[in-house]
Structure 1
């Protein structure tokens, strides 16, 4: 007689509250308050709510948990445009969350039916669960319109003991490790035939083994003195600033008396417009370069001869414009409207507010400046896994993350983005200068430690000796392959364990 599966579905009266509790706890693990340790019970609650459920019930339970997470987690999305875009994004992401919940539920049913040994259910099944979770995070970070890579388990762990693993397996790999550990603990609590002390000991051994993995030995060679300037100007879309106001705020906040500066860095769109066609802007940049005796990396909105708009980061020296990078990940419904003809019919007043459509760039995101190679990430670029790898593979010795968070003043958006940047520093083994128009602006070393910062919503600058990274982390080389193997492997195991023959014989819905 086959042993009874230990992963039976909970009644709705228990599963539904667990889904909501899991979603809320998960939201609390992100800034603010950023209680990263709550991600573990959050994942456990979400797994328990989906466990053993039929696909329809798993879908709406996952959607319930997704709503409980996404609505508070990205409340900043409604800061200026109101509840419609905020709730639209939250509810859509909750639907993708529900898709992952269905996969988890089916894995507990199908794989749990095939794998009957205690060892397989404790150690093997959780690997499938974690792989499917990771695959869902990858999918939602890639689709549609380039995806929305916020809300990954790993991104709540930038200050946790798991953070250093990003250098080994990448951000999505950290999500896999965390979910796997939680899923193993859940299995240990459910499978039979083990004494309590054995369950506790096995859980402890697993966590200890994971945490015993040493930090990647990041290598640095020399440093560069960077003055990063937070102008705190009226840089928001609805600030209605007069032309030149943001530029002047940056000029005023730049410490031109700072000694030994090798490079000045300004935030996204801080020079406002193309200095090649705006002599006043060129003059302001020339003044800063002469006074500090160092080149500057700044941002501006540029336009090609054919009228194509780009969000651009550029290098300006005493000889003027040297090189540039155009943002490759403009924000959908923020910097451009995909399928404008369609969405204009759904929400004409909202879509009408976005009059300009920025085009994704094609240039490499590594620029030579001040004798080094700097990786450039303009705002939303920092969430893109591929662009992060491109910077490291392109020889970047430091990452300059230029951003404009003025449209989300007073919210947690800038803090959440900062933690994404922190994980990218660890993942690549590179120091990262996160410079915002309004904050949070910090300099982060290759281990994820903050080595300099300035107060938010303050016009000021920080002059920092920033270590230059030289090592290549395993994540830089193989994190994309790790994600592919995990995601595809989890899906293939799930399909291989599906009861296709049983379904044909019984004709029953599984």
Structure 2
């Protein structure tokens, strides 16, 4: 049984806010993962047995603190955008608090509450407009022993384990009889995760050599007529530097050149000047260019964000169009209604059209005409199935193409790098990260980062990446653990209202006696 001491309302408000800050401190770039685990445990203790109204209010305040700390970088699009996003995301925390307050009444609450965390992350990653689940508990585990579980249970399962260990701490404090067994179980999760990190990987027989280009761009030009051209001009210039290094240094023969998302801000197939720049780049490289391009959409006044394979002799080849688009960033929900009433939305530009199918591009190179490259474009990293499809569809390597220009200098780029690291461990594929102007490099299957660039500089890296064909258990499981957690949470929440009313009533009377709302 969890009991809380009587706290004045003002103190309770401060505690709720502080818990949110603790939970958020484990996210990048802070990375203090023990603070997150402490915060999750305190969240359970603080919400235990509360009535729905107070639980929702305190949970909402916790969510405000956590999301303000971690994702307020979105306010670079406008203060009102940041305020609206944080205020909305905090609603999920209010709902989570209500659920937790009910689940603590059940016998197996230490196992059920972690499922509620997973369910909240899953739902917030889908509702509304595709969701926004950017700061999951699992991401805080990237630099601690539990990271070994990523390949087996994915970020969903690791989120469950983080919450499980945190709630085990609460259980140890509140149940003296089974303290040693619970502590042993929590320690086993850590130890086994560390041992899984030591599991040897098969030594691949084939590798590819890639010149990764970070063009950089004058951020103050964004929105001007010169911006679109300067991005592609810079990509060409940095490609030349990469080629010079490859041909004069101790590097193997390049297989292709990787450009980031929005390296061409104008359709490179239909726009003659942009096409000329890409063709010159491919001709100089004498190998294909994997272009991150903005292309004209299938309907008038629409666009698509794409990954386009460009052969030096054959020109444009296979392509992939981004599936998971940023609402109010790349497309406007209810556009016909909102656009006339909110003129600021005109800054978004043409409506983006999502693509279909897995992010895998047929990428023939010299000596390997059947190469399959998996690609994940920026915001898509937040979606498990989209990321896993890069392996399910046959991707032998994974590239992550991003335009980080808007959010440079904020928490967003280091958070995105953490997600890249998680995806590499989950999928069992090295992830080659190419950004417009920040944190370009390569992540190995242990989640380690190499050849990392600095923000706001033109740079290039030459990396050699193994081709892999394995499919980790996390990819096989996909969304099933999340759906199972959601179903379990709903059933347990409903059952909490059907259990013996005498025990529930005694808990309420005890809390009222202690002055708890």
TM-score normalised according to structure 1 size: 0.90
Among 323, 326, 331, the residue aligned to 1:328 = 323
The alpha carbon displacement at 1:334 in A equals: 0.4
Among 42, 45, 49, the residue aligned to 2:46 = 49
Q: Which runs of 5+ in 1 are unaligned?
A: 116-123
Among 92, 100, 103, the residue aligned to 2:99 = 103
- The answer to whether residue 59 in structure 2 is matched with residue 62 in structure 1 is yes
The alpha carbon displacement at 1:214 in A equals: 5.0
Tell me the secondary structure at the aligned position of residue 451 of structure 2. Answer: strand
Residues 215, 337 of structure 1: CA spacing in aligned structure 2 closer, same or farther, 3 A cutoff?
farther
The alpha carbon displacement at 1:73 in A equals: 0.9
Contact 1:16/1:49 (8 A) holds in 2: no
- The answer to whether residue 132 in structure 2 is matched with residue 142 in structure 1 is no
Alignment partner, residue 372 of structure 2: 373
Alignment partner, residue 191 of structure 2: 208
Alignment partner, residue 402 of structure 2: 403
Contact 1:167/1:216 (8 A) holds in 2: no
The alpha carbon displacement at 1:472 in A equals: 0.9
Among 259, 264, 274, the residue aligned to 1:271 = 264
Contact 2:49/2:508 (8 A) holds in 1: no
Tell me the secondary structure at the aligned position of residue 132 of structure 2. Answer: coil
Among 356, 362, 384, the residue aligned to 2:356 = 362
- The answer to whether residue 134 in structure 2 is matched with residue 154 in structure 1 is no
TM-score normalised according to structure 2 size: 0.88
Tell me the secondary structure at the aligned position of residue 406 of structure 1. Answer: coil
Deviations 1:107-128 (A, max 9, x none): 002x1xxx2xxxxxxxx42110
| Cα distance in 2, alignment partners of residues 392 and 237 from structure 1 | 37
The alpha carbon displacement at 1:62 in A equals: 0.6
Tell me the secondary structure at the aligned position of residue 423 of structure 1. Answer: helix
Contact 2:150/2:422 (8 A) holds in 1: yes
Alignment partner, residue 120 of structure 1: none
Tell me the secondary structure at the aligned position of residue 452 of structure 2. Answer: strand
Count residues with an aligned counterpart.
489
Among 74, 80, 86, the residue aligned to 1:84 = 80
Task: Show the 5 A alignment for 1:406-485.
Answer: 406-485=405-484
The alpha carbon displacement at 1:231 in A equals: 0.5
Deviations 1:384-431 (A, max 9, x none): 111012111111111111110111121111111111111011110011
Among 346, 350, 353, the residue aligned to 2:344 = 350
The alpha carbon displacement at 1:446 in A equals: 1.4
The alpha carbon displacement at 1:291 in A equals: 1.8
Contact 1:269/1:299 (8 A) holds in 2: yes
Task: Show the 5 A alignment for 1:205-284.
Answer: 205=188, 207-214=190-197, 217-219=200-202, 221=204, 222-234=206-218, 238-240=222-224, 242=226, 243-254=228-239, 255-257=242-244, 258-259=246-247, 260-284=253-277
Tell me the secondary structure at the aligned position of residue 479 of structure 2. Answer: helix
Alignment partner, residue 169 of structure 1: 153
- The answer to whether residue 307 in structure 2 is matched with residue 306 in structure 1 is no
| Cα distance in 2, alignment partners of residues 277 and 479 from structure 1 | 38
Deviations 1:82-120 (A, max 9, x none): 3100010001000111111111111002x1xxx2xxxxx
| Cα distance in 2, alignment partners of residues 419 and 53 from structure 1 | 35
Contact 1:442/1:454 (8 A) holds in 2: yes
Tell me the secondary structure at the aligned position of residue 268 of structure 1. Answer: coil
Contact 1:15/1:50 (8 A) holds in 2: no
The alpha carbon displacement at 1:246 in A equals: 0.7
Alignment partner, residue 119 of structure 1: none
Residues 104, 216 of structure 1: CA spacing in aligned structure 2 closer, same or farther, 3 A cutoff?
farther
The alpha carbon displacement at 1:375 in A equals: 0.8
